Amino acid sequence: MSVDFSNKLTQIRKDKKLSREELAKLIGTSGAIIGRYERGDMKPSIEIAAKIAEALEVSLDYLVGSVSAIVKDKKMLYRLELLEKISEEDKNTILKVMDSYLKDAQLNSTQSRLN
C-alpha cells in the first residue's frame, strides 16, 4: 500500500461524510489509528484494509490503488465483472440496451429541467 492508499482513504471517508471516529467504530479500531493510516504513518493489514473497504462501500482493489477506473460503487463493479464473463454478442446486446436507456434518461432529465 502506498501514499495513494492514504489519499484514497481520506478522500473516500470525507466523501461519505464520516469522521475518523465513525469509520473506526465501523471496523473496530480507534480514530487515532485511522488518522495514522491517512497520514501514511502506518499500513493496515489486508484484513483491516478489507474491513475499511467494506465500511466505505468500495472495492478493496479501488481502495489500495489496484484499480485505476473510478468505479466506487460495489454493485456497479460487480456488474462490470459479470460483463467480462459473458459472450461478446451478449455483451454488445446489453451495452446497446444500456446506451438506449441512458440516452432516454438524459433526454428526460433535460426536458424536465426545461419545464
Tens digit of each residue's pLDDT (9 = 90 or more) over 37-95: 999 999 999 999 999 999 998 888 888 876 555 556 778 778 888 888 899 899 999 99
16 shares its domain with 51: yes
**Residue 34: inside a domain:** yes
| Residue 67: per-residue pLDDT | 56
Cell numbers describing residue 46: 489486508
22 shares its domain with 53: yes
**Residue 73: inside a domain:** no
Tens digit of each residue's pLDDT (9 = 90 or more) over 5-23: 899 999 999 989 999 999 9
Tens digit of each residue's pLDDT (9 = 90 or more) over 95-110: 999 999 989 888 888 8
Length of the chain: 115
Q: Which domain holds residue 106?
A: 85-114
Burial of 46 (0-12, 13-18, 19+ CB in 10 A): exposed
In the chain, the number of structural domains is 2
Q: Which residues contact 42 (CB under 8 A, 6 or more apart)?
A: 33, 36
**Residue 75: inside a domain:** no
**Residue 17: inside a domain:** yes
| CA–CA dist 104, 90 (Å, integer) | 21
11 shares its domain with 43: yes
